[in-house]
Structure 1
Amino acid sequence: MLTLTHAAKRAVLVAAVTGVAALLATPVTASADTIDSGVLARVPAEFAPWIHAAPATCAAAQITPAFVAAQLEAEADFDSAAIGPLGQAGAAQLFPVVAAELRDDDGNGLASPFDIGDAVHALVRIDCRLVDELTAAGKPTDPETIAAAYTAGVNDHMDLPAVREYARSVLDRI
């Protein structure tokens, strides 16, 4: 994964979270036939309801359960307790400034990047916002570009070879 300065990543994530409309979703249980291959076959049971519910809160067709699962696997290998080198937390590797604005999407009374439901919904809100930002910037909104923007932001950095390599690694998991 490309290492960006804390300030650069923070700025991107703040922009991604700012202005996102309130989205509420109730987790649903995935049927056995929806988790059958690729990354969805590797999703831990405690992640499955959230991975299947959260994308329904985003109108962007590119934000699918498989894409979300691939991002979570690439970011932290589904480790909800993961801590990144720059302070990123949880399965979605959210920076503290983003974590401070989390919602209690899982309804347990605590908004935390370490709560699977909160992290998955935050990742989907960020992805959805990135689709809007990419569209406004006249850039493609394919899954590879969304994954690149999640890592580097909607800027020239998302076209760096290391960022694109990371983005392709997300898609290779699907």
Structure 2
Amino acid sequence: MRTARLRNVRPVLWAGWAALATGAVLCVLGWYGISGERYAERQLPYLASCTVPGAALIIAAAVLLTHGRNALAATRVEELYGLLVAAGPEDAASADGPAAAPVAVSGDLLMVPGGTLWHRADCPLVAGKPEALPVDSRVLAGGDLAPCPICEPTASDDPADESPGASPDVSPGASSDGPSSGAATG
């Protein structure tokens, strides 16, 4: 498929370069002829026979070269799309298994100060971040944070709901050296 399209593109590019060269030569000849004449009525034939057609050929060359390069780029995009489509069904069968389950399964819920999402502790977006804080149930109830679309946490995952003093009230500027910070790194 690519070779058929390229057979149509290459002549357009060559025609564009040929028109550009011919137009440049005609413009130079017209300029040379005009520069040797003192009176305008003697310059007019050079202008009509060389310079105007040369300028028209340069404009045509610009159009042909632009069209040829766009067609060449479209051919490459179609080839890449064909490669992606051909590789899709084989890879999709192996990717469906892990994609169906959530990425993280931990029950501890964390948030990053200044963030807009709450995550499970083993979510790749917060795993290993020392600034991650445990989520307070009041923050969840207030609706200030949204659940992470990657790890898909639920409010019932929070162990702080089960035992009322398990998660101390921590402000965003406070240190995260407490016992719950180990969940974010491990």
TM-score grouping bracket, smaller chain normalisation: under 0.3
TM-score normalised according to structure 2 size: 0.19
Structure with higher strand content: 2
Structure with higher helix content: 2
- The structure with the largest alpha-carbon Rg is 2
